[in-house]
Amino acid sequence: MKLRSALLPILLIAGFVTNSFAAHHGKPLFVQTYLKSYTAETDKLISLAEAFSDEGMEWRPAEGIRSVREAILHVAQANYGIGSRFLGKKLPEGVNPREFRNITSNSEAIALLKSSIQFVKDAIGSMDEAALAEEIKLFGQDSNRMGAAIAVGGHAYEHLGQLIAYARSSGVVPPWSQ
């Protein structure tokens, strides 16, 4: 009984500090932490994409495997797809992710990557606790919008790793390791 009464003030203070922190910064702690992490990973993804030459953007490890440009477009497509389908953000006028595979311009591919990353940041940045907890079906599985946020971040990490391997295999040094 004494342990319970001793823990109550600690739990109340912890809750107050957490809520005060979130209220002070205007966004749930998850959103703040997520955006910081997602920005760091996607900044690397963008800088690596920009490090490839036009010729290097066509590099692929083998026939039938995505080229550098195709991998970049795949990430942009997933960002818009997950953002609109699972994070509840409306696609911008004129953006059709299904048409990204037709893009052959490297500068357009990088521009789409950048705009898709901002799209995800805006979608997640606008969420409050209730929106994050909203139940959804994520690729057929029970989840919530926070789960979708984690999925889109994991997808970006996955393809950052892919592009690091592509870079190392084709002689491109990632900008942050020069």
Closest CA to 37 of 26, 29, 49: 29
Closest CA to 123 of 78, 159, 73: 78
> Which residue do the tokens 């920009």 mark?
50
pLDDT(82) > 50: yes
Higher pLDDT, 1 or 173: 173
pLDDT digits (tens, 9 = 90+) for 102-114: 999 999 999 999 9
> Which residue do the tokens 């109340």 mark?
12
pTM of the entire structure? 0.85
| Gyration radius of the chain's alpha carbons | 20
pLDDT(97) > 80: yes
Asked if 167 and 71 touch (Cβ cutoff 8 Å), the reply is no
Give the per-residue pLDDT at 20. 47
Q: What fold is seen in the domain 27-177?
A: Four Helix Bundle (Hemerythrin (Met), subunit A) (1.20.120)
Give the per-residue pLDDT at 11. 44
Flag the least confident range among 17-21, 48-52, 104-108. 17-21
Domains in the chain: boundaries: 27-177
Cα dist. 121→58, 62, 94 in Å?
Answer: 28, 33, 19
